[in-house]
Chain A
Amino acid sequence: MDASVTLQRLTERFGDSILETHSYRGDDTAVVKKEDIVALCTFLRDDGKLLYNFMMDLTAVDYLGREPRFEVVYHLYSLRYNRRVRIKAGVPESDCSIDSIVPVWIAADWFEREVFDLYGIAFNGHPDLRRLLLYEGFEGHPLRKDYPVKKRQPLIGPIN
């Protein structure tokens, strides 16, 4: 019961932009529209009954062959109430971008850069969107499902 407080509050407030909720294995999850992500995150952080002050993790998943193709996944934690929630926002390949949540949690900075680097999802309004783990000049985004495991792009060539 306690677990669903977050989802309840969210649906009350953002009824239209919540596409789906579930609590598989006790993990509260809300799938939301990507347009509202910043407003939603601000609400989650500031609402007196939620207070999600930790942005624990931010990543993306590539569901190749599904629409929308990408999903950006946020894991939040509330120290005050000791609760966790997962927010997911679908990002279609045709419009491969989502608003940055750096203004809400500064911690998101590098996480967003990493997702941009490995998945190629752009974050609108990010202060410094560059590759993080790979180097400038790397072509493509290796964690996309259509990037072959063995494909190599060395910076300098081998001996022979």
Chain B
Amino acid sequence: MGSIKGRLGALRRSGQELLDSGEAERLLGGSVLFTKVESVVNWARKYSFFLYPFVTACCGMEFMSVAGPKYDLDRFGAALPRFSPRQADLLMVVGTISHKQAPVLVKVYNQMTEPKWVFAFGVCAVSGGFYDNYATVQGIDTLIPVDVYVPGCPPRPEMVIDGLMKLQEKVAQERWSDWPRGAAPVTDEAKLTEC
């Protein structure tokens, strides 16, 4: 008895430690799971990305391969593309974004519901790549926040899968307070309605 009391005291003192050690579950006969709501939700989120493929250019060819039979994104719970931004939570920006396209990208980003993540696929989305001229946006992070950068021109499917796993790790670490992020900082309604 005394020892259980002592242990509950320890639980009060450092709940987290005990949670992590699994001691509490053992005490209660293994029929109960202790965890934080946050971790459960994050765990669920990281294995059920609904992605919105914003495919513009050559990287789309590799995107097809990643989604296709050999590399199979489904293994990571990210196989179901949603073509409405409102149903998606992972924005895959695949390919070059030109200045003409930029307002559209921002609009799509703002239409997605939170929480949402952005995946920059290919060096064009990351930094503009070797298109350093009047037409191309020099990296989508000048427009919207980006969570994972996967460079490569185009990145090999292995890299994309690695990037996706990095994103899963990131999602697992998130706190409630990280959301909502709000609209993209560049939003300029007057200009956005033109497109």
The answer to whether B134 and A159 have CB atoms under 8 Å apart is no
Q: Is the CB of B134 within 8 A of A156?
A: no
Q: How far, in whole Å, are A72 and B142 apart by their CA atoms in the complex?
A: 38
Highest count of chain A CB atoms <10 Å: which of B106, B142, B192, B195: B142
Residues of B within 8 A of A157 (CB): 186, 188
Question: Cα distance A107–B115 when bound, in Å?
Answer: 48
A142 at the interface (CB under 8 A from B): yes
Complex Cα distance, B133 from A135, in Å, reads 15
> Residues 123-160 of chain A: 1 if any B CB is under 8 Å from the residue's CB, otherwise 0?
00000000000110000001000010111111111110
Interface residues on B, range: 10 to 19
Chain A residue contacts of B64, Cβ below 8 A: none
Closest to A159 in B: B185
User: Is B172 located at the chain interface by the 8 A CB criterion?
Assistant: no
| B187 (CB) vs chain A CBs: closest residue | A156
Main secondary structure of the interface of A (DSSP, over half): loop
Q: Are B134 and A155 in contact (CB under 8 A)?
A: no
Task: Contact check, B99 vs A151: say whether CB atoms are below 8 A apart.
Answer: no
Residue on B with the closest CB to A140? Answer: B134
Q: Please indicate the chain B residues that have their CB under 8 angstroms from the CB of A152 in the complex.
A: 99, 134
* A154→B135 CA distance, assembly (Å): 8
A142–B99 CB distance below 8 A: no
Asked if residues A150 and B133 are in contact (CB atoms below 8 Å), the reply is: yes
By a CB distance below 8 angstroms, the chain A residues around B142 are 158-159
CB neighbours of B133 from chain A (8 A)? 142, 149-150
Complex: A157 Cα to B102 Cα, angstroms: 10
Measured in the bound complex, the distance between the Cα atoms of B132 and A152 in whole Å is 10
Take A156-B191, A156-B192, A157-B188 as given contacts and tell me if A151 and B134 are in contact as well, using a CB distance cutoff of 8 Å.
Answer: yes
Contact with A along B141-154 (1 / 0, CB 8 A): 11100000000000
Q: Is the CB of B93 closer than 8 A to any CB of chain A?
A: no
Are A135 and B134 within 8 A (Cβ)? no
Contact, CB under 8 Å: A134 / B106: no
For chain B, residues 158 to 195, give those with C-beta under 8 angstroms from any C-beta of chain A: 185-186, 188, 191-192, 195
Nearest neighbor of A136 in chain B, beta-carbon distance: B194
**Complex: A116 Cα to B123 Cα, angstroms:** 31
A158 to B132, CA, bound (A): 16
Point out which of A134, A151, A154 has the most chain B C-beta atoms below 10 A from its C-beta: A154
Q: Do B100 and A147 have beta carbons less than 8 Å apart?
A: no
Which residues on the B side are within 8 Å of A159 (C-beta)?
141-143, 185-186
Most B CB within 10 A of own CB, among A134, A150, A155: A155
> Could you write out 16 A-B pairs with CB less than 8 Å apart?
A134-B100, A135-B99, A135-B100, A142-B133, A142-B135, A147-B134, A150-B134, A153-B99, A153-B134, A154-B102, A155-B99, A156-B186, A156-B188, A156-B192, A158-B186, A159-B142
List residues of chain B with CB under 8 Å of any chain A CB.
99-100, 102-103, 106, 132-135, 137, 141-143, 185-186, 188, 191-192, 195
